[in-house]
Chain A
């Protein structure tokens, strides 16, 4: 049974390593508002900002170029830099949208990116970073069905920025926002599938 837990709520009366919790005087407490199922790995956040991790795929906008390094806006409070590797020859213009991977996070606030790739045309939307995992779905099921039914190219950045191009882009966008709104509900993949199919038929 998944329950909503709140900051300071005791999760266990013994010390345990559970994500998004802390231990005090031998007891384990949640440090966020989230969903928790007893004996699961962690408290799943309902809200919050993104904490970057190595290998995360991100989407951002090129702000400026300093020598060979590009400053990227990921809507993250720290600095984000795309540093070309030995064989990379980047030529991005300010304002262009790119996809990249996180190579390194320094002191939780400077992000170094690699594998920059231009995302041409299309548009970009923003969802709450904590909802992104639902937009992707288990083993990409959610995002893949949105891609298939709407025929839209979609790149999801774990930082909450999502790039889209082509197909029934309006429907794809609506579906993603629907997932964001209903992220904490169960049976979402199936209900979004039905939503997409009904909407596709009616158009």
Chain B
């Protein structure tokens, strides 16, 4: 974030470096239930991001002393594959960034999953970033929601996530990697579409109060499209086998 002397031009003739408008998402493609063993799964491509997500449970909480007798415990792990970035080989295993993302993503699903229906159990959500190109956490949440739906676990809603940021004077939706690195501000969020409740919100850089509010609205507007893609992916997985 911020820039430095080598900051590239992010806006050329009113368009972004990849030709998008400021409120335009990259192409998103979701496949529901690609994995055989996982209780629920989803594969998502969002621009050049590629994400595999798998869900297990509800099953007996392990270790047992972490079980909550009143509701299910959600465990979430977000990880970047060592070959996921264009730069050098990444170290495997969770680092501080991945640990933080795992935590905020877990909190999204603690909100929507009806954990009270499975006291004493645990539900595991695994998000593997196979290829990263800016916005992997929002891609991960969007995929995980679909994976959870395919596992049949009761949920209040099918959340999606999107990021909105600022390039100069322009509020901009869905940063790619270059924009992510050089923009002035970034604000990833996850949203429950039925009532537009915000379930994840992070922000860094600098925005005015009004920009925060306008940014959230921009995320909600873009979210209509993301919700549609999630829903179509789920329906397609079941309608395809009808014939």
Contact = CB atoms under 8 A, between A and B. Distances in A.
Interface of A: 4, 6-10, 20, 22, 24, 29, 31-33, 45-49, 51, 77-78, 107-109, 130, 181-182, 184-185
B149 to A, nearest CB: 5
B151 A22 contact: no
B121 A109 contact: yes
Contacts of B162: none
14 contacts: A4-B234, A7-B112, A7-B154, A7-B156, A7-B158, A8-B112, A10-B194, A20-B154, A31-B155, A33-B150, A46-B152, A77-B60, A184-B242, A185-B242
Given A130-B152, A184-B242, A49 B157 contact: no
B155 A7 contact: yes
- Among B59, B119, B121, B194: residue with most chain A CB under 10 A: B194
A47 B33 CA distance: 11
Interface string B154-176: 11111000000000000000000
B87 interface: no
Contact of B120 (A20, A33, A109): A109
B35 interface: no
Nearest to B151: A47
Interface string B108-121: 00001010011111
A48 B151 contact: yes
B192 interface: yes
Given A6-B149, A7-B149, A46 B238 contact: yes
Given A6-B234, A109-B120, A45 B57 contact: no
A181 B241 contact: yes
Nearest to B32: A33
Nearest to A110: B120
Interface in B74-131: 112, 114, 117-121
Contact of A33 (B234, B239, B241, B242): B234
A173 B154 CA distance: 30
Interface of B: 39-40, 57-60, 69, 112, 114, 117-121, 149-158, 192-194, 231, 234-235, 238-239, 241-242
Contact of A6 (B57, B192, B231): B231
B40 A47 contact: yes
B58 A33 contact: no
Contacts of B118: 77, 108-109
A32 B153 CA distance: 7
A151 to B, nearest CB: 29
A32 B152 contact: yes
Contact of B192 (A8, A10, A51, A78): A8
Contact of A47 (B60, B150, B192): B150
B25 to A, nearest CB: 20
Contact of B155 (A32, A107, A181, A185): A32
A14 to B, nearest CB: 16
- Among A8, A47, A49, A130: residue with most chain B CB under 10 A: A8
B237 to A, nearest CB: 9
Given A6-B234, A181-B241, 8 more contacts: A8-B157, A9-B194, A29-B156, A32-B154, A77-B57, A78-B120, A108-B119, A182-B241
A49 B58 contact: yes
A6 B158 contact: yes
Given A7-B158, A185-B242, A48 B60 contact: no
